[in-house]
Structure 1
Amino acid sequence: MTEEIVDLAQELIRRPSRARIDDYGPVLATLEDWLGARDLPRRRLHDDGGRPVALLVEVACGRPGPWWALDACVDTAPYGDEGAWSFPPDCGDVVDGWLRGRGAADSKLAAAMFCRIAAEVHARAAELRGGLAVLLDADEHTGGFGGARAYLADTAAARPAGVMIGYPGRDEVVVGGRGLWRATIAVHAASGHSGSSRRTVGAVSRAARLVQLLEEAELPGAVGDFPLPPKLTVTSCHGGEGFSVVPDRCELGVDVRTTPTFDADAAEAWVRRAVADLDAQLPTPRPTAITPVATWPPYRLSETQQPAAALLDAAAHEGLTVTAKTAGPSNIGNLLAAEGIPTTAGFGVRYEGLHGTDERARLADLPKVHAVYKQAVLRLLADGSAPPQRGAGLY
Structure 2
Amino acid sequence: MIKTEQSKRILRDREEVISLTQRLVRISSVYRPSVEGGNEEKAANFVADYLEKLGIEVHVEEVVPGRPNVIGIIDSGKPGKTLLFEGHTDVVTEGDHEQWNYPPFSAEIVDGRMYGRGTNDTKGNLSCMITAVHSLLQDEEEWSGKIILCIPCDEEGMMIGIKHFIEQGWADDVDGAVICEPEENQVCITQRGAMRIRLTAYGKMAHGAISWSGINPNWRMARMIVELEKLEKREQERLGKHPLLGWPSITPTILQAPVKGEAQINVIPEQCMTTLDVRTVPGFDHEGFKIELQEIIDKLAAEDEDFQMDFEVIEDRPWTETDMNEAIVDSVSWAVKNVTDKEPVYNGVPGATDGTFLHLAGVPIVTIGAGDREVPHQINEYVDIEELAETTEIYRQTALHFLNEKGEAK
Deviates more, 1:81-90 or 1:183-192: 183-192
Output the amino acid matched with 2:365: T
- Alignment partners' CA distance in 2, 1:292 and 1:254: 9
**Superposition pairs of residues 92-107 of structure 1, within 5 angstroms:** 92-107=107-122
Aligned in 2, Cα 1:314/1:163: closer, same or farther, shift over 3 Å? same
The answer as to 2:357 corresponding to 1:340 is: no
- Corresponding residue for 1:56? 71
Other structure's SS at 2:287 match: helix
User: 2:405 — aligned with what?
Assistant: 383
Return the offset for 1:229: 4.1
- Is 1:231 matched with 2:231? no
Which position in structure 2 is the counterpart of 1:389? none
Shift of 1:182: 2.8
TM-score by length of 1: 0.88
The counterpart of 1:33, out of the listed 16, 27, 49, is: 49
Equivalent runs, 1:120-131 vs 2, <5 Å: 120-123=135-138, 127-131=142-146
SS at match of 1:54: strand
SS in 1 for 2:210: coil
Q: Deviations over 1:47-79 (max 9, x none)?
A: 1x4544221110001210121110111211111
Distance 1:369 1:320, change over 3 A: farther
Are residues 1:242 and 2:267 paired? no
Report the TM-score, using the length of structure 2 for normalisation.
0.85
3-state SS of paired residue (1:232): strand
Deviation of the 1:322 alpha carbon: 3.0
In structure 2, what residue type is equivalent to 1:259?
Answer: V
**SS of residue paired to 1:196:** helix
Residues 303 and 324 of structure 1 are in contact (CA less than 8 Å); yes or no, is this contact kept in structure 2? no
Quote the offset at 1:295 in angstroms.
1.1
Change in Cα spacing, 1:104 to 1:277, as seen in structure 2 (3 Å) is: same
Matched, 1:262 2:278: no
Which range is displaced more, 84-93 or 348-357?
348-357
* Secondary structure class of the residue paired with 1:181: strand
Q: Does the 8 A contact of 2:41 with 2:68 survive in 1?
A: no
Q: What is the letter of the counterpart of residue 393 of structure 2?
A: A
Q: Which piece of structure 1 moves more, 218-227 or 354-363?
A: 218-227
Q: How many positions carry a matched residue from both structures? A: 381
Matches within 5 A, 1:148-187: 148-155=162-169, 159-170=173-184, 172-187=186-201
Residue by residue over 1:166-206, the C-alpha shift from the partner in whole angstroms, topping out at 9 and shown as x without a partner, is 11132522211122333211111233221117375511122
Which of 50, 55, 59 matches 1:43?
59
Residue type at the aligned position of 1:204: N
Q: Distance in 1 between matches of 2:39 and 2:336?
A: 36
Following TM superposition, by how much is the alpha carbon of 1:378 offset from its aligned partner in structure 2, in angstroms? 0.7
Q: CA–CA distance in 2 between the matches of 1:257 and 1:106?
A: 20
Distance in 2 (CA, whole Å) between partners of 1:265 and 1:372 is 38
CA contact (8 A) 1:10 1:92 kept: yes
Separation of aligned partners in 1, 2:109 and 2:189: 31
User: How far did residue 317 of structure 1 move?
Assistant: 1.7
1:392 alignment partner in structure 2: none
Contact 2:257–2:272 (CA<8 Å) still a contact in 1? Answer: yes
Q: C-alpha displacement at 1:282, in angstroms? A: 3.1
Contact residue 351 and residue 362 of structure 1 kept, 8 A: no
1:290 is the counterpart of 2:311? yes
Q: Structure 2 unaligned segments of length 5 or more: list them.
A: 1-12
Larger deviation: 203-212 or 237-246?
237-246
Three-state SS of the structure 1 residue aligned to 2:79 is: strand
Which SS does the other structure have where 2:224 is aligned? helix
Measured against aligned partners, the alpha-carbon deviations of 1:141-185 in whole angstroms (never above 9, x if no partner) come to 2x2223212221224676311211111132522211122333211
- CA shift digits 1:75-134 (9 cap, x unpaired): 111111111111101111211111121111111111112111222333567832110011
Q: Distance between the aligned counterparts of 2:367 and 2:141, measured in 1? A: 29
- Residue 320 (structure 2) pairs with residue 299 (structure 1): yes
Matched, 1:204 2:218: yes
Q: Is the 8 A contact 1:137 1:148 kept in 2?
A: yes
Residue equivalent to 2:21: 9
Contact 1:352–1:361 (Cα < 8 Å) also in 2: no
Q: Provide the C-alpha distance between the structure 2 equivalents of 1:329 and 1:155, rounded to a whole number of angstroms.
A: 25
Kept in 2, the 8 Å contact 1:104–1:360? The answer is: yes
1:91 pairs with one of 106, 124, 140: 106
Seen in structure 2, the aligned counterparts of structure 1 residues 296 and 155 have a Cα distance that, compared at 3 Å, is: closer
Aligned CA-pair RMSD: 2.5
Q: Match of 1:214, as an amino acid?
A: L
Letter in 1 for 2:199: I
